[in-house]
Structure formats: C-alpha cells, structure tokens
Amino acid sequence: MIDVLIDITLLAFLAITSIAILRMTNLFATVMLYGIFSLLSAGLFVVMDAPDVAFTEAAVGAGISTVLMLATLALVKRPQRPFYEEAPRTHRAWLPLVVVVVTGSALIYGTWDIPGFGAADAPAQTHVARYYIDNAMPETGVPNVVTAVLASYRGFDTLGEVTVIFTAAVAVLLLIGGRRSVKADKSKTQEKQDEA
C-alpha cells in the first residue's frame, strides 16, 4: 500500500513539474526544473522495482544532461539582460492545444483496455519475460537478469546502442568541436546591418 501511495504522490509531482516547465519562460529555471524532473523520475523507477534504470536516470538525467544544457545556455544566452529569457509569444497557440487535447483523450480512451498496473497475468509478463527469469541464472550464471539480457541475450541490440552513442559523440565533435570560423562569428543579423 505504501508503494502505491509513493507512486501516486511522485507521479503527481512529475505532472506538476512538467506543467511548471511548460509555463516557465526563464530558460535557466526551466533547465533546473528539468533536473528536478529527472531526479523525481529516478525515485519513481526505484518504486517500480527498476533499480538499474533508476541508477542510469539519476546519473544521466539529473547529472550529465543538466550540465550539458547549462553549458549550451552559456553559449546561446542573449548579449544583454535578460540573458536566459524566452522571447514573448506573439499569439496564443490554440491549434496545438486542440491537437494535444484530442490526442490525449484518444490515448486515455485507449487505456481502458490495458491490463491494470502490476497485473501478473498481463501479456507482457507471460511470454519472453518468464523465459529470461527462469533461464538467465542457469544459462549465464549472472544473478542480475537485466545484465544478462543486456549483454548476452540482446547483445546485438546493445552493440547497436553503443555504436549510436559513439556516433553521437563523433557528430558533436564534427559540429562544434573544431575552431570557430571567423565568418560564423558574424551573425546573419550583423550581415544584414552591414548590407543596409
């Protein structure tokens, strides 16, 4: 019962944080709230019995990605105050709101057919998951089933993921790793002013 209470509270916090992120116009505050959002999700993953995922989310979401976003903010801030403020919106976005509400209602209607949270006889639990839990220990000798599936049963998948991470690092190096060219420093606004 206590699990359910923590689950409900943390999920409510998450929803509130996400709406705060949406409404906040200061980018610095937004990034900080996103760090809180990630930490809350890490706590939730522990409640849902996924310690490996919680580990990763805590280190990645609350640590690395917040630092990366702050580093980017320092690079893209405005030349004068307010440094981190979003530009005021020129119009109310009614169409996106309609799209989002309609999509959301359709999805919520769809949840009526999903087996309830934690149902042991749900289709997701009865096929390959059973096999992994029963056979991971005798076949690989590794008690942590997540590690066994990650590295052994789904080895190809993980190889692909590692390659993606490597490729992303290479791409970031190619994009902003080199020296800044002189021309790039001169922004298009300045060019326009020069022409005028």
Partner 1 sequence: MRPNLILHVVAKFVIPLIILFALYVQFHGDFGPGGGFQAGVIFSAAFILYSLVFGLDRAEKIIPARWLRILAALGVVIYAGVGIESMILGGNYLDYSLLGSNQIAGQHLGILLVELGVGITVAAAMLILFFTFAGRGRS
Partner 2 sequence: MDFFIGHYNYWIVIILMMVGLYTVISRGNLIKKIIGLNIFQVSVFFLYISLGAVEGGAAPIIAEGVKVYSNPLPHVLILTAIVVGVATTALALALVVRIKESYGTIEEDEIHNLDHSL
Residues lying near partner 1 in the complex (CB under 8 A)? 51-52, 55-56, 59-60, 63-64, 67-68, 71-72, 74-75, 139-144, 146-148, 150-152, 155-156, 158-159, 162-163, 165-166, 168-170, 172-173, 176-177, 179-180
> What is the Cα–Cα distance from 157 to 15, expressed in whole angstroms?
32
Per-position x/- string for 137-176, each x denoting binding to partner 2 as judged by CB under 8 A, each - no binding: x-----xxxx--xx---x--xx--x--xx--xx-xx--xx
194 binds partner 2 (CB under 8 A): no
Nearer to partner 2, 8 or 81 (CB): 8
Q: How many CA atoms lie within 13 A of 11 on its CB side?
A: 9
Q: Does 98 bind partner 2 (CB under 8 A)?
A: no
Q: Please say whether the beta carbons of 86 and 60 come within 8 A.
A: no
- Per rule CB under 8 A, is residue 44 in the interface with partner 2? yes
CA torsion angle 169 42 44 29 (round to 10) = -90
Least distance in angstroms from the C-beta of 54 to partner 1: 8
Of positions 2, 90, 178, 196, contacts partner 2 by CB under 8 A: 90
Residue 29 found at the interface with partner 2 (CB under 8 A): no
- Rounded CA-CA distance 118/42 in Å is 19
Helix axes 27-47, 66-76, angle to 10 degrees: 170
Radius of gyration of the chain (CA): 23
Tokens of 4: 């359910």
- Smallest gap from Cβ 171 to partner 2, in A, equals 5
